[in-house]
Amino acid sequence: MRFHACLSALLLAGCASAPPEPAWVSEADPALVALSGTSRVDIEVDWFAQVPPDEVALEGLAVVARRECPGKVVTIRLDTELPESGWKSSRGGAIETVLDGCRGRREAAPGVAYVHVLYCPTNPWGEEYASNGLCRRLEKPFPHWQIFVFKGTLRSRAVLGLSAGVVDRSCLVHEFGHALGLVANPDHRFEDGGGHCTDTSCVMTKPKLKAILDNAAKVIATGETPWDYCDRCRADLDRARRLYAAR
Ligand SMILES: [Zn+2]
Ligand SMILES: [Zn+2]
């Protein structure tokens, strides 16, 4: 009797020491970060002819996607080049028709997480709320991530000796970070709801003046700008991975 009481007290203590994970942990997309479930990540890249993706950007994306989507076959496919002349008629809501036309997949495939990237000269809806790039979760025609890189705008920002490719890489990896689920942890997230990291050396930070100034010396000296997730962002994804593995 005494033994049972002891044992249940121990069990209770055991439970109490492992509180459930906070809700933000599961904001990471299990289809991308979990060790099981999906077996492939299919990233398709399309572009308007005047703004092709830079090789260095695709290489950077490959590095982070292979690391953060462990155990999955990650493919990055250069798919459709849209004619330069098509951009004029692709502004505003018309961009959705462009996406429907160039998206290589028509429906969900079992075990495949799909990410569709489109390079545009500028934000088709205007510059007000996102001028570098954008990451959206679309449910139609099937659930997937849709990323924009506004390459014409990025080119105009390639200052301080930065090449357009290096700026492209930071933008593409940043938008992919939103698809992964960054930044959800309130310990290092700006409180404006934008999902951005307070670490100015992290690619998930906001392009604020402080981040630019913090990085300016390095940019001038090396021609490089941060293009990877910081340790805390990577730890958040690991934490989600452990949570999904335990379920
Ligand atoms: Zn962002
Ligand atoms: Zn970070």
Domains of the chain, CATH where assigned: 23-246 (3.40.390.10)
* Nearest ligand to the CA atom of 196: 1
Task: Quick: pLDDT tens for 24-64.
Answer: 999 999 999 999 999 999 999 999 999 999 999 999 999 99
* Nearest ligand to the CA atom of 193: 1
Task: Quick: pLDDT tens for 176-228.
Answer: 999 999 999 999 999 988 899 999 999 999 876 666 667 777 777 777 788 99
- List, in order, residues 6 or more apart from 238 with CB less than 8 Å away: none
Distance of CA 211 to the CA centre of its chain: 19
Distance CA 194, CA 191 (A): 8
CA–centroid distance, 73 to ligand 1, in Å, is 25
Mean pLDDT of 152-162: 79
CA–centroid distance, 5 to ligand 1, in Å, is 53
CA–centroid distance, 188 to ligand 2, in Å, is 7
CA–centroid distance, 174 to ligand 1, in Å, is 6
CA–centroid distance, 91 to ligand 1, in Å, is 21
The pLDDT assigned to 12 comes to 47
